[in-house]
Amino acid sequence: MLHVDLIAPIATLLERHAKQRPNQVAYWDSTRSVTYGQLASRTASIAANLAKVGLRDGDKIAIYLPNGVDWIEACFAALRAGAIIVPISYDAAEGEISYRLTDAECGFIVTTVARKELTSKIFSDAAIAPMSVFAGPGAENSGISLAGLAVGGDAPPADPENIDRSSFIIYTSGTTGRAKGVLLSLRGMLWIAASCWAPIAELTEQDVVLSPLPLFHSYGLNLSVLSVLSIGASEHIMEKFSPQQTLDLLQTGKYSVLPGVPTMFHYLLHRAQETGVERLGTIRLCISAGAIMPATLNRAFEERFRTRLLDGYGITETSTMVTMNWLHGARPMGSCGLPLPGLAVRIVDPFSAEDVPIGEEGELIVRGPNLMLGYHNKPTETASALRKGWYHTGDLAKSDPSGYLTITGRIKELIIRGGQNIAPAEIEEVVVRYPQVKDCAVVGVKHATLGEVPCLFVVAKESEFDVAALMDHCRAHLSAYKIPEATHIVGEIPRTGSGKIMRFKLVEALNQA
């Protein structure tokens, strides 16, 4: 069941594929491609030359690049040089970038010439001075360039063999505010390839992946960067997700696997309905993770495209995946699947820590080889999250008699209205089924007598929106105490790179109104 051969040092994986499939394209983007043979050679040179300009074993190196082949090469080369990778969103705000560089104590940063002015300002304001390596247009004329480092290399790269040490500091999505740096090992990340993507999604070297996932996020880093390498597949990396561009690319018939997050599949379905597209080329499988997949969306997507859309549940602290639906056989729609082979999960009462009966809601806790090593420089938070070998996710879940898990919400997001518990996801599942709703989110707001009440935010498909009719729809499908007390029409729902709703931003907007 476990494909243990996929768990190996980066150099071992690169050398394996360079020998077995040297001319196979490993990754490509809109500007260039790289074969497995070229990838092994180029990352070896970059790693050796990074050491030559001062990178030492254990140094932190930030990758602040758009999605693309440059991102891939920077990541693998830095790992081969013994560095710890700190991915940063290319769209991050100045304060977010500064915080990550400072908190992780980055000594190097790989970025573009287009971001040179911004990073120089951050270095000046934060009194930090990482060495910059530039990639992309104009890089050769701006100092040290990634392309320049890929040439030559007098000495062999360090190629560390210890895959249990910290290799990544990935900052959590920040659904509740300031992000924490999660320390992950290469073993933990590749264990997901060995226990999930290869045996469950049946990803092989024959697959061609079309990936719109942000590579800085743990899901994209795990599947679209590391797992594609370990398995030896080929991948087209999109710089950004675009529903129309994705549909156009899929119609070429080049691709077999499409990973995404629920919002991507929502917009893909919506665009296909608008344009009359009914098939996704030669796609054999779509994979969703990062946020809760509504059962209605899952069902509508599969019915239209006649393509499997498998939902799974994962979090950064577990190197991504915890559960996954399998490619074959029946599954309960709305479930995020079964625990991965080799992973232990429990659903416990958040207060007593005792296991709850099957079918009852509790906190999901996890134990296995994919757990984080801890939070960077945060021993108190680490001790709170990792207790007796179990990671306490903070997510509410329930299990059916067959072992399929369903995520019902977050403990801290639970709305307690007059003593009755309300999961925002339950209301959102009903609201998003209403034909005029494009997207939605629910938050709890303070109430003088009831403590908290649900408040709804809606992105409407059309300018004219009938709130009263939507409330009638809600009353037909929800208990009276779950009906939103107020509804706000907004332009968009703030979400993380993985598609999770940033509810704290909606609460902040209400408080400022």
Banded pLDDT at 93 (limits 50, 70, 90): confident
Q: How confident is the model at residue 485 (pLDDT cuts 50, 70, 90)?
A: very high
C-alpha to C-alpha distance for 423 and 421, rounded to whole angstroms:
7
* 209 and 226 Cβ atoms separated by less than 8 Å: no
Q: Is the predicted pLDDT of residue 498 greater than 80, yes or no?
A: no
Instruction: Work out the average pLDDT over 242-255.
Output: 97
Predicted local distance difference test score (pLDDT) of residue 449: 73
In this structure, are residues 422 and 443 in contact, taking their beta carbons and an 8 Å threshold? no
User: Apex CA 259: angle with CA 47 and CA 232, to 5°?
Assistant: 45
Task: Indicate the CATH number of 4-190 among 3.40.1670.10, 3.40.50.980, 3.20.20.70, 2.40.50.140.
Answer: 3.40.50.980
Question: Where does CATH 3.40.50.980 sit in the chain?
Answer: 4-190
Under CATH, what is the fold of the domain 415-512?
A: GMP Synthetase; Chain A, domain 3 (3.30.300)
Residue with the bigger pLDDT between 290 and 376: it is: 376
pLDDT in tens, 152-178: 877 899 999 999 999 999 998 554 456
Instruction: Read off the pLDDT band of 419 (50, 70, 90).
Output: low
Residue range(s) occupied by CATH 3.30.300.30 in the chain = 415-512
pLDDT of residue 389: 94
Q: What is the pTM of this model?
A: 0.86
CB atoms within 10 A of CB 182: 25
Q: What is the pLDDT of residues 104-133, one digit of tens each?
A: 999 999 999 999 999 999 998 888 889 999
pLDDT band for position 338 (cuts 50, 70, 90) = very high
To the nearest whole percent, how much of the chain has pLDDT over 70? 98
Q: How confident is the model at residue 411 (pLDDT cuts 50, 70, 90)?
A: confident
Question: What Cα–Cα distance (Å) separates residue 415 from each residue in 291, 418, 452?
Answer: 19, 10, 6
Contact 161, 62 (CB under 8 A): no
Percent pLDDT > 90 in the chain is 78
Q: Average pLDDT of the chain?
A: 93
Mean pLDDT of 49-66: 96
Is the pLDDT at 418 greater than 90? The verdict is: no
pLDDT at 178: 66
Average of pLDDT values for 308-332? 94
Summarised one tens digit per residue, pLDDT across range 343-385 is: 999 999 988 889 999 999 999 999 999 999 999 999 999 999 9
pLDDT at 54 over 50: yes
Closest residue by Cα to residue 359 from 427, 312, 292, 405: 405
